[in-house]
Amino acid sequence: MIFDKVKINFLGCEFENPFILAATPSTDDSDMLVEALYAGWAGAILKTTAVGSSSVDLKYPMMYAIKDNSGNMMTLGNIDLISEHPLIEVARVVKKLKSKFPSKIIIPSIMGRNKKEWQLLTKTLIKSGADMIECSFSCPQGNIGEDPGRMLAQSAKATEIATSWVKEAAKDIPVLIKITPQVTDITEIAAAVKKGGGDAVVVTNSVLGLIGIDIETGKPLPTVNGYGSYAGITGPSVKPITLKSISQVAKGVGIPILGVGGVSNYKDAIELMMAGASIVQIGTAAMYNGFRIIDSLNDGLNNYLLRKRFKNVNEIIGKALPFLVGLDEIEYKKEDAPIAKINQDKCIQCNKCYIACYDGGHQAIFIENDKLDVDKEKCVGCGFCTGVCPVDAITLKKR
Ligand SMILES: Cc1cc2nc3c(=O)[nH]c(=O)nc-3n(C[C@H](O)[C@H](O)[C@H](O)COP(=O)(O)O)c2cc1C
Ligand code: SF4
Ligand code: SF4
């Protein structure tokens, strides 16, 4: 179903909705891409390709997930690399998808080692019909950055130079630069993309972490032939990092943004848009729930826009930014502190809030006649208990 309210024009291209698949294994297979586009995704970022991709050294198992107590996946770590398909095959897929779905936005992702490679990849894929080019700047800087061992997007200088190479080759086809949150100041990197002629930034890529250690064997996870390595962390747990990164770029640098990282549903997507993203990419959640998650994303966003009486999706982009300030800029008096209130009809008397406030708050929750209540004098309004309550029975009210 296509809803008028969720349509968006971004960098001169019409997106039927703001949701596109991020580069993952889901976008590395032509048949899977066809299914996803039929399902209703506005477009897709193909898994990253490089010159000589066929010699990529993938190792299995390549993923490990952290689950919550109900068994739902919260965090995914992967040691996947780029696509194993050679450039010629990726070009063929782009051509096939564009002829089958002329109105979908097809964006190959590339990664080069030098000017020649970046430009060859760009020109080849534009020739085959790519609507835009995404560049993964999570690859090493080579000899153009301050530290060749680091990622391109960890150096403003390297980012600017490599962006300008791609833009020179892409001409008027939009160039999107996918940057990393693992820098001291992400606005410096986004500004370098702008200076290099990039049309937009993709904020951000997976966050490098150690997903876990098997305490029975002492081996890092996922374990490959007895060894482990640092993994790209994705999924719900990275959303706060994504929101911070998007909002910093949106506030500090005037450049269009595609947001990615940690979106599980339409509400998360709205948050990324309110932080400043125009288009939202989704990876882990589409792998986990299947391509049909697009229906609930579209329905959810459309119903939200109707309920809140927004004319269209453009009206929510950056909506949170005017209210996002430094902590020292928030005007505040002591008496502004709220107070916790327990809804007795909802409370299931699990005592979680009592324990949490007793040892992690201000010992303000007490039990009387088998009921839990809040001591108004002791409660400082910290808000901890509202997050602890499993049935949302606690709210913060005006004092
Ligand atoms: C298994 C896997 C493989 C990925 N491969 C790529 C890739 O080839 N190129 C790239 O730029 N990002 C790659 N990513 C990162 C995703 O495009 C996306 O930035 C990341 O998963 C965060 O979004 P999510 O939380 O919605 O998954 C990969 C992610 C996963 C989970
Ligand atoms: S708001 Fe803080 S101090 Fe007040 S009851 Fe909750 S945890 Fe305790
Ligand atoms: S955490 Fe919630 S449900 Fe449990 S005792 Fe407190 S108010 Fe009641």
CB 84 within 8 A of CB 29: no
Number of continuous H segments (helices) and E segments (strands) in the chain: 11, 21
CB 3 within 8 A of CB 17: yes
Atom of ligand 1 lying closest to residue 138 CA: 11
pLDDT of res. 36 = 98
State the DSSP code for 47. Answer: P
Q: What is the largest CA-CA distance in the chain?
A: 76
The mean pLDDT values, 10 residues at a time, for the chain of 399 residues are: 92 98 97 98 97 85 95 94 94 98 98 96 98 92 82 96 98 98 97 98 95 98 96 96 98 97 98 98 98 98 98 97 97 95 98 98 96 97 97 97
pLDDT of res. 376 = 96
Distance (angstroms) between ligand 1 centre and the Cα of 23 equals 5
CB 127 within 8 A of CB 79: no
Selecting among 135, 139, 385, 389, the annotated active-site residue is 139
362 alpha carbon, distance to own chain's centre: 36
**Mode of pairing for the β-strands spanning 257-260 and 105-107:** unpaired
Q: Which residues line ligand 2 (CB under 6 A)?
A: 340, 357, 361-362, 364-365, 374, 379-385
What's the one-letter identity of residue 149?
G
Pair of tokens at residue 95: 């051509």
pLDDT of res. 155 = 95
**Domains of the chain by residue range:** 4-323, 332-397
Residue written as token pair 């971004």: 10
Distance (angstroms) between ligand 2 centre and the Cα of 395 equals 10
Distance (angstroms) between ligand 2 centre and the Cα of 369 equals 20
Pair of tokens at residue 77: 């770590």
pLDDT of res. 369 = 93
- Residue 43, beta-bridge partner list: 20, 105
**Residue 139 designated active-site:** yes
For the domain made up of 332-397, the CATH class stated in words is alpha beta
pLDDT of res. 56 = 81
CATH architecture of 4-323: Alpha-Beta Barrel (3.20)
357 alpha carbon, distance to own chain's centre: 33
